[in-house]
A and B are shown apart, each in its own frame.
Chain A
Amino acid sequence: VITIPKKLLLAGLLVAGVTVYMAYLGASASWQYYLSVDECLDRRPTLAGSRIRVSGTVTPKTLQVDPDRTRASFQLQGAQGGLGVTCRCSLPDNLAENMPVVVEGRLDEAGRLQGNKLLTRCASKYEAQLPGHAPRTAARPVENGR
């Protein structure tokens, strides 16, 4: 005879088993490497075609945004070098030069990151500007729309 605690344990194990299996399915469908620009540059040959998420800073004077804000290209700066990025997605309103950003996408054959998602830091400015740090400036549209 299965006692009530054992029945409860079985029900719990069933719920836990389904949860773990679904977590496994979700993880295998959505995982991606999280890299800094320098790590991405070092491992560029092995990353072709892989989903990656790269963090870096938008290099000043490289940010170009289409007037309809559906495409942006810029150089993502790391400590050692820079990575060219083209993003075709809805761009965050506060995207600006000198801003730390995270880009999701894949490297193309030329080694350029083709992004489909762009995250910027939150508008709630928890961190103070460092002394001597260059101010952030908004992107100038390639074609002045207004």
Chain B
Amino acid sequence: MNTLGEISLLVAFVASGYAAFACLAGRGPGRRAIGQSGLAAGLVSVAALSVVTGVLAYALLVKDFRFQYVAHYSSELLPWYYSLSAFWVGQAGSLLLWAWLLALLALVLRFGSREEAGGLEQPAFGLLMAYLCFLAAVLVFAADPMESNLALAPRGDGLSPLLQHPAMLIHPPIVFLGYAGWAIPFVLAISALAAGRLDGAWVRSARRWAFFSWAVLGIGILLGAVWAYEELGWGGYWGWDPVENGSLMPWLSGTALVHCLMGWHYRGVLKKTVCVLAIVTFGLCNFATFLTRSGIFSSLHAFSQSPIGWMFLGWMVVLAACGVALVAVRRSRLRPDRPMTSLVSREAAVLISSLALLLLVAVTFLGTVSVPLSNLVLGRKIVVGAAFYNDVLIPIALVLLAATAAAPLLRWGLPPTVQQRRALGISVLAGVAAAAIALARGVRHPLGLAVAGLAAAAVAALAAALVLDAQQDPSAAFGWKLLRLLRANRRRYAGFLVHMGFVCLVVGVAGSSLGTRRQELIMREGETVSWAGRSIHYAGLIQRELPDKSTLEARLEVSEGGQPAYILLPGQYLYRPQFESATMVAIHSTWAGDFYTILHGRRGQDRVSLTLVENPLMRWLWTGGIVAAAGAVWGLWPARRPSRGTPPVPRPKGAALRRRTNTIRVRGKP
């Protein structure tokens, strides 16, 4: 098995290198055969990587400890699903997963993409193969997942208990899929710039890929937050750790890219910004890998003193330099098609919110590299705390929320219509009313009031835009019209849903950040305390001995309004064979907030040490993520192809104008 894996890895390395060369060199008249051979080599490379992936996955499933990787990250007692999840726990496995996902996406781009990339599929495939060759080289020379285990390890070292959580089963692969996905807009942009084919045909394909990668990386980040919230046992979900920042930065710049791509698509503007953002976003994905593997950043997450991080940094610098040079060379062809004619237009909102996002990226980047940067500039290593990021996040989140509130009632290139202006006014009134209600219900923090007002304005604007859209079709009942609209303008309303999710998420973040309360206390068995409007009775400890762990749980009987409401069992588990303890928090979640309990341990014979946390509006945060993800899936869902024999629908007159002003398509009307 090891030998099969090693040979396949070498084949993948060599074949991807040849595929890159042949696909890039095989363009133009008389070179078709070279291009075809490159494509074949690419297929061989993907197949070989799939074999390596299959070998490692099988070895983990059957716990074949002859593989050093399996012996290091799995154990006899580990359930099969956590053993399989060890695939992406270690350095070699996670890099293999990234390479394999990239290979699969390269195949989808080359063969499965329904959007035409303007004939750029071959060079884009070649560039992806070049990147795959780099990853395969790292696997062959620096992080071999197929390495044999020479030491005797009959039971395996086992997986850290902290990683034995459902979110960890899918969080890392989803993040890696997001990183791999951002390679596609990047290679499409580079191919378009290199070939000088900047007519925007590639933008159609890039938009879809960027939206896909944005959604996938966002889901991955959110799953990481769920894991941190439930598993790390400190009551929070985001710590501004360098590794967390590493995944957040490409997502933020990717958010700007998704919106700027719309500007190019609908108005022919923001072209240079689109190209630079595609380069920056993929560069930041590589930077995230550098963060985890260079060993120079202080992080809650892993560090390793290996050369792999520096290889990624070097690769990132080369990619960024080539990309920026190409943008500079093509700058005359990247001028906007038309000047901006209104400040109250969608492209202006996109521009301001993209600037806000990029400022947040810049600040996050500076905070993340503050230690090496201050050492270089000041000769002293200085690190900044969470307040640095939080203070910046506040104005930026408000700008983004305001842009989200206004966007559905703005048009591309033109000022709002009279109806849209009226709807904007109603949305503002709804925002003011919501802020007043929040004030009356006890919210005193100015930021909380601002978020309440802007969130309500955003929801009202989305609803008003939907109503205005439906009014364009006077032919049917409102409900029927709405259904037809949702079907005919799927991407637009998917965007609405994503924005709705973002609004929910911001409400959750604001609530949990501004209103959180903590109480540390020691409780005696049988004691009852009142805290945050509830009565908590500690009924005793439950101790159990299981094959792989010892568990200790405190039984907390919670009453609300004088009535028994629910029971929470926060615990401490001691895992074998690692002899490592794990905190198991217990959470009662409602729309108003989470009651989060942590058991630290026993103190004396009949007392326990606990922390109680009140996190308001947490469910809104997770729901926002789910709603945004649902919007992304809806937007990305393949449209039905017209059946064979159906004559093509002629493009109505004024279609170009309609597209540029983003007017709604109504079935049966031109």
Closest to A16 in B: B359
Residue of A nearest to B235 (CB): A90
- Contact (Cβ within 8 A) A31 B580: no
For B472, the chain A residues whose CB sits under 8 A away are: none
Docked-complex contact B392 and A96, CB < 8 angstroms: no
Determine chain A's interface SS by DSSP, over half rule.
mixed
- Cβ of B608 within 8 Å of any chain A Cβ, yes or no, is yes
Q: Which residues of A contact B578 (CB under 8 A)?
A: 138
A15 at the interface (CB under 8 A from B): yes
Contact pick for A23, options B94, B392, B543, CB 8 Å: B392
A33 to B385, CA, bound (A): 11
Number of chain B residues whose Cβ lies closer than 8 Å to a Cβ of chain A: 79
Binary A-proximity of B498-511 (CB < 8 A = 1, otherwise 0): 00000000000000
CB of A45 closer than 8 Å to a CB of B:
no
Whether B609 lies near A35 (C-beta < 8 A) is no
B340 touches A19 (CB 8 A): no
- The answer to whether A146 touches B355 (Cβ under 8 A) is no
CA distance A18 to B391 in the complex (A): 10
B residues near A125, Cβ cutoff 8 Å: 72-73, 89-90, 160, 302
CB distance from B319 to the nearest CB of A (A): 23
The answer to whether A119 and B392 have CB atoms under 8 Å apart is no
Bound CA span A141–B243, Å: 31
Task: Tell me whether chain B's interface is mostly helix, strand or loop, or mixed.
Answer: mixed
Task: Judge whether A12 is part of the interface by a CB distance below 8 angstroms.
Answer: yes
Q: Find B603's partner among A16, A22, A30, A67 (CB 8 Å cutoff).
A: A67
Among A2-10, A76-84, A106-114, the stretch that binds chain B is: A2-10
Report chain B residues within 8 Å CB of A90: 233-234, 598, 600, 611
Interface residues on A, range: 35 or more
Candidates A7, A12, A34, A100; contact of B303 at CB < 8 Å: A100
Give the residue of A12, A33, A146 whose beta carbon is less than 8 angstroms from that of B550. A146
Q: For A120, give its contact among B300, B395, B581, B583 (CB under 8 Å).
A: B300
Give the nearest-CB partner of A7 in chain B: B343
Q: Compute how far the CA of A54 lies from the CA of B407 in the bound complex, rounded to whole angstroms.
A: 47
- Of B232, B391, B395, B598, the residue contacting A15 (CB under 8 A) is B395
The answer, among A12, A18, A30, A119, for a CB contact under 8 Å with B298, is A119
In the complex formed, the residue of B with least CB distance to A146 is B552
Interface residue B384 (Cβ < 8 Å from any Cβ of A) = yes
Known: A34-B371, A145-B601. A16 touches B355 (CB 8 A): yes
Which of B43-51, B208-216, B375-383, B624-632 has 4 or more CB atoms under 8 Å from chain A? B375-383
Whole-angstrom distance between the Cβ of A37 and the nearest chain B Cβ:
13
1/0 contact string of B564-579 vs chain A (CB within 8 Å): 0000000010100011
> Binary interface profile of A, 78-97, with partner B (CB < 8 Å = 1, else 0)?
00000000000010111010
Q: Which of A5, A23, A67 contacts B363 (CB 8 A)?
A: A23
CB neighbours of A122 from chain B (8 A): 243, 299-302
- Which residues from chain A contact B160 at a C-beta distance below 8 Å? 94, 123-125
In the docked arrangement, what's the CA distance between A127 and B302, Å? 7
Would you give the shortest CB distance from A13 to chain B, in whole angstroms?
Answer: 10
Chain A hits for B520, CB < 8 A? 70
Contact bitstring A16-56, B, C-beta under 8 A = 1, else 0: 10110011011101111111000000000000000001010
CA distance A124 to B603 in the complex (A): 31
Per-position binary interface string of chain B over residues 137-172, scored 1 when its CB falls under 8 Å from any chain A CB and 0 otherwise? 000000000000000000000001111000000001
Residues on B with beta carbons closer than 8 Å to the beta carbon of A18: 395
Check: A69 CB closer than 8 A to any chain B CB: yes
* Least CB separation from B347: chain A residue: A8
Q: Does A12 lie within 8 Å of B234, measured CB to CB?
A: no
Q: List B502-529 residues whose CB lies under 8 Å from chain A.
A: 520, 522
Residues of A within 8 A of B340 (CB): 4-5, 8
Please state if B381 and A33 are interface contacts (CB–CB under 8 Å).
Answer: yes
Residues of A contacting B394 in the complex (Cβ-Cβ under 8 angstroms): 22
Q: Is B390 an interface residue (CB 8 A)?
A: yes
Which of B386, B390, B579, B601 has most chain A Cβ within 10 Å? B601
Known pairs A94-B160, A96-B580, A146-B552; A30 contacts B388 (CB<8 A): yes
When the two chains form their complex, are residues A145 and B602 in contact, meaning their CB atoms are under 8 A apart? Answer: yes
CB-CB contacts below 8 Å: A103-146 with B: 119-128, 137-138, 141, 145-146
Question: What would be 5 A-B contacts, judged by CB atoms less than 8 Å apart?
Answer: A32-B385, A93-B162, A94-B160, A125-B160, A138-B579
A residues apposed to B, CB below 8 Å: 4-5, 7-8, 11-12, 15-16, 18-19, 22-23, 25-27, 29-35, 53, 55, 66-70, 90, 92-94, 96, 100, 102, 119-128, 137-138, 141, 145-146
